[in-house]
Homo-oligomer: A and B are copies of this chain.
Amino acid sequence: MARLQRRLAEFAAARNWQPYHTPKNLVAALSVEASELVEIFQWLTPEESARVMTDPDTAHRVTDEVADVLAYLLQLCEVLGIDPLAALDAKIDRNERRFPVQESDGPLQ
Protein backbone atom coordinates (compact mmCIF):
# COMPACT_ATOMS: atom_id res chain seq x y z
CA MET A 1 0.00 0.00 0.00
CA ALA A 2 2.86 2.40 0.79
CA ARG A 3 4.39 1.39 -2.55
CA LEU A 4 1.12 2.14 -4.37
CA GLN A 5 0.88 5.53 -2.64
CA ARG A 6 4.42 6.28 -3.88
CA ARG A 7 3.55 5.17 -7.43
CA LEU A 8 0.46 7.44 -7.41
CA ALA A 9 2.48 10.40 -6.12
CA GLU A 10 5.16 9.91 -8.80
CA PHE A 11 2.50 9.49 -11.47
CA ALA A 12 0.85 12.80 -10.52
CA ALA A 13 4.17 14.63 -10.11
CA ALA A 14 5.44 13.52 -13.55
CA ARG A 15 2.32 15.04 -15.14
CA ASN A 16 2.22 18.19 -12.99
CA TRP A 17 -1.18 17.26 -11.62
CA GLN A 18 -0.45 18.14 -7.98
CA PRO A 19 -1.94 21.68 -8.23
CA TYR A 20 -5.28 20.03 -9.05
CA HIS A 21 -5.00 17.64 -6.12
CA THR A 22 -6.40 19.85 -3.36
CA PRO A 23 -8.22 17.85 -0.68
CA LYS A 24 -11.48 19.41 -1.88
CA ASN A 25 -10.92 18.22 -5.46
CA LEU A 26 -9.74 14.76 -4.39
CA VAL A 27 -12.85 14.10 -2.27
CA ALA A 28 -15.01 15.21 -5.22
CA ALA A 29 -13.11 12.81 -7.52
CA LEU A 30 -13.43 10.03 -4.93
CA SER A 31 -17.20 10.50 -4.75
CA VAL A 32 -17.46 10.56 -8.56
CA GLU A 33 -15.62 7.24 -8.79
CA ALA A 34 -17.81 5.74 -6.04
CA SER A 35 -20.84 6.81 -8.09
CA GLU A 36 -19.42 5.11 -11.18
CA LEU A 37 -19.51 1.90 -9.12
CA VAL A 38 -23.13 2.63 -8.16
CA GLU A 39 -23.96 3.18 -11.85
CA ILE A 40 -22.97 -0.43 -12.63
CA PHE A 41 -25.38 -1.73 -9.98
CA GLN A 42 -28.21 0.82 -10.14
CA TRP A 43 -30.80 -1.23 -12.06
CA LEU A 44 -29.78 -4.69 -10.79
CA THR A 45 -31.81 -6.75 -8.33
CA PRO A 46 -29.96 -7.80 -5.16
CA GLU A 47 -29.59 -11.28 -6.68
CA GLU A 48 -28.18 -9.97 -9.98
CA SER A 49 -25.77 -7.75 -8.05
CA ALA A 50 -24.39 -10.85 -6.27
CA ARG A 51 -23.54 -12.45 -9.64
CA VAL A 52 -21.83 -9.40 -11.13
CA MET A 53 -18.37 -10.99 -11.33
CA THR A 54 -19.57 -13.89 -13.51
CA ASP A 55 -19.66 -11.64 -16.58
CA PRO A 56 -16.02 -10.88 -17.57
CA ASP A 57 -16.77 -7.40 -18.97
CA THR A 58 -18.71 -6.31 -15.90
CA ALA A 59 -16.10 -7.88 -13.61
CA HIS A 60 -13.45 -5.80 -15.37
CA ARG A 61 -15.50 -2.60 -15.03
CA VAL A 62 -16.14 -3.21 -11.32
CA THR A 63 -12.46 -3.99 -10.64
CA ASP A 64 -11.43 -0.87 -12.56
CA GLU A 65 -13.76 1.38 -10.55
CA VAL A 66 -12.59 -0.20 -7.27
CA ALA A 67 -9.05 0.73 -8.31
CA ASP A 68 -10.14 4.32 -9.05
CA VAL A 69 -11.81 4.69 -5.65
CA LEU A 70 -8.73 3.33 -3.89
CA ALA A 71 -6.44 5.58 -5.97
CA TYR A 72 -8.22 8.76 -4.91
CA LEU A 73 -8.58 7.58 -1.31
CA LEU A 74 -4.81 6.95 -1.08
CA GLN A 75 -3.98 10.27 -2.74
CA LEU A 76 -6.30 12.07 -0.33
CA CYS A 77 -4.62 10.35 2.63
CA GLU A 78 -1.21 11.32 1.21
CA VAL A 79 -2.02 15.04 0.95
CA LEU A 80 -3.75 15.09 4.36
CA GLY A 81 -1.18 12.93 6.21
CA ILE A 82 -3.76 10.29 7.19
CA ASP A 83 -2.81 6.62 7.69
CA PRO A 84 -5.90 4.85 6.27
CA LEU A 85 -5.20 1.45 7.86
CA ALA A 86 -4.69 2.97 11.32
CA ALA A 87 -7.84 5.06 10.81
CA LEU A 88 -9.88 1.97 9.99
CA ASP A 89 -8.41 -0.03 12.88
CA ALA A 90 -9.41 2.73 15.31
CA LYS A 91 -12.87 2.97 13.72
CA ILE A 92 -13.55 -0.75 14.12
CA ASP A 93 -12.51 -0.43 17.80
CA ARG A 94 -15.03 2.38 18.27
CA ASN A 95 -17.77 0.49 16.41
CA GLU A 96 -17.24 -2.58 18.59
CA ARG A 97 -18.04 -0.43 21.61
CA ARG A 98 -20.87 1.41 19.84
CA PHE A 99 -22.60 -1.72 18.49
CA PRO A 100 -22.20 -4.46 21.14
CA VAL A 101 -22.95 -7.86 19.64
CA GLN A 102 -26.01 -8.85 21.67
CA GLU A 103 -28.06 -5.72 20.97
CA SER A 104 -27.59 -5.51 17.24
CA ASP A 105 -30.32 -6.47 14.86
CA GLY A 106 -29.55 -4.54 11.72
CA PRO A 107 -26.82 -2.89 9.72
CA LEU A 108 -24.56 -0.01 10.72
CA GLN A 109 -26.44 3.20 9.89
A-to-B contact residues, CB < 8 Å? 1, 4, 7-8, 11, 14-17, 20-25, 27-32, 34-46, 49-50, 52-53, 62-64, 66-71, 73-74, 76-77, 79-82, 84-85, 87-92, 95-96, 99, 101, 104-109
The reply to whether B4 and A92 form a contact with Cβ atoms under 8 Å apart is yes
Main secondary structure of the interface of A (DSSP, over half): helix
Chain B residues whose C-beta falls within 8 Å of the C-beta of A11 in the assembled complex: 92, 95-96
Q: By the criterion CB–CB under 8 Å, are A42 and B29 in contact?
A: yes
Determine the chain B residues whose CB is within 8 A of the CB of A88 once the complex forms. Answer: 4, 67, 70-71, 74
Pair A8/B46 contact, Cβ less than 8 Å = no
The answer on a CB contact under 8 Å between A67 and B38 is: no
- Tell me the complex Cα distance, A31–B21, Å: 20
Q: Judge whether B4 and A24 touch: CB under 8 Å.
A: no
Can you report 26 residue pairs joining A to B where beta carbons are below 8 Å apart? A11-B96, A14-B101, A15-B99, A15-B101, A15-B105, A22-B46, A23-B50, A24-B44, A24-B46, A25-B42, A25-B46, A27-B40, A29-B42, A30-B34, A30-B69, A32-B39, A32-B42, A37-B76, A43-B106, A53-B81, A63-B82, A66-B76, A66-B77, A67-B84, A71-B88, A71-B92
